[in-house]
Amino acid sequence: MSLLRTPFFERHVAAGARLIDFGGWEMPVQYSGISAEHQAVRRSVGLFDVSHMGEVRVRGPQALAALEHLVCNRVADVAIGASQYAALMNDKGGIVDDLFIYRLGEEDYLVCVNASNRAKDFAWMVAHNPYGADFVDEGDLWAQIAVQGRNGPAVVQSLTDVPVLGAARGSITPGAFAGVEGCLMARTGYTGEDGFEVFIPAAEALPVWERVVTAGAPFGLLPIGLGARDTLRLEARNVLYGNDISDETSPYEAGLNWIVRLDKGEFIGREPLAAHKDNPPRRLVGLTVEGRIPRSHQPILNLDGEVVGEVTSGTRSPSSNANIALGYVKAERGNAKPGNRLQIDVRGTVVAATVVKGAFFNRDY
């Protein structure tokens, strides 16, 4: 079976990107190198192709009720022109996917889901829609780019007449962008930096890439592949579906307590979530690791050598030159407490690790 390609595929080839199979999509993993791309975003601005992400349009008088039923956050809190991070829930209190809900109108929402879950999420939404809301898979109608970094807003502003520099974090603004009408500019992202994710009608998207590259040239903008996207999100302690969260993970285990609103009324998975709200059996922790770079599925040990958990994501931080990881540990005996000393078995070599609180990187602006 041939791989899917985004509207910007030929631009990636022309830029000399190294391409890989990513969930059935032929995507750039790097252009100039992961470290250089990572630092470009941290120091100035980078351009990402995220057109493989999925979009679901939810409309109608029952749109709000349907979304409230599906996710654990309180969608009623989302004003028109704003967004919300939430989790699509299953009956066990596990995460079907994590997603962004953008409210475009009184009865009009755009839901952005993970690329690997596009078909699964849409099928789940349609199958769990007792309110009769209108769900439409718009994944093929939209291309999407992310312009991330301290100079990202300036680059985006140079390509639109809409005053986005004053837009609030989490806002979504309709308007023309880079000469294309009907775009949506969302001040959201996955890197820990400021910036925008821009939804572009797919049929008209191709010229946008070079227009953004040209506008960003004075700022040293680089195209960014999936490799640096992963190191950036991990430094910011943003979870990755399929690694750090899954159908078997609850938001409370993953440290996503802030997106659960048990007091909003009934929703899928509410009862099992409420049952372990105060005592989840395991917790996702951040770890700094000595000596070797940890990788997913490697055992986490206590100081007595007992296995107490498993690494879900790990890398060498380009910003700090430290080895960092996320992983689940048993909640008992203070395993998840910041400052607790643990160990990781990295391919047969046991190395020291320390539980740390919060993100591994915090921007300075």
Domain 1-278 -> CATH class? alpha beta
What's residue 233's pLDDT?
98
Q: Give the mean model confidence (pLDDT) for residues 53-65.
A: 98
What's residue 47's pLDDT?
99
Which one-letter amino acid corresponds to residue 308? Answer: V
DSSP 3-state assignment of 51?
coil
DSSP 3-state assignment of 322?
coil
DSSP letter for each residue of 196-218: EEEEEEGGG-HHHHHHHHHHHGG
Q: How far is CA 42 from CA 38, 228, 318, in A?
A: 6, 11, 10
263 Rama class: left (phi>0) / alpha (psi -120 to 50) / beta: alpha
Domain ranges (residues) in the chain:
1-278, 281-356
> Is the domain defined by 281-356 classed in CATH 2.40.30.110?
yes
Count helices and strands in the chain by DSSP H and E runs: 8, 19
Q: Give the mean model confidence (pLDDT) for residues 142-158.
A: 98
Task: Give 229-270 pLDDT, tens digit per residue.
Answer: 999 999 999 999 999 999 999 999 999 999 999 999 999 999
Beta strands 222-224; 46-49: pairing state:
parallel
What's residue 257's pLDDT?
97
Q: How far is CA 28 from CA 11, 31, 51, 87, 232, in A?
A: 10, 7, 12, 27, 16
Q: 18: how many CB neighbours lie within 10 A of its CB?
A: 13
What's residue 18's pLDDT?
98
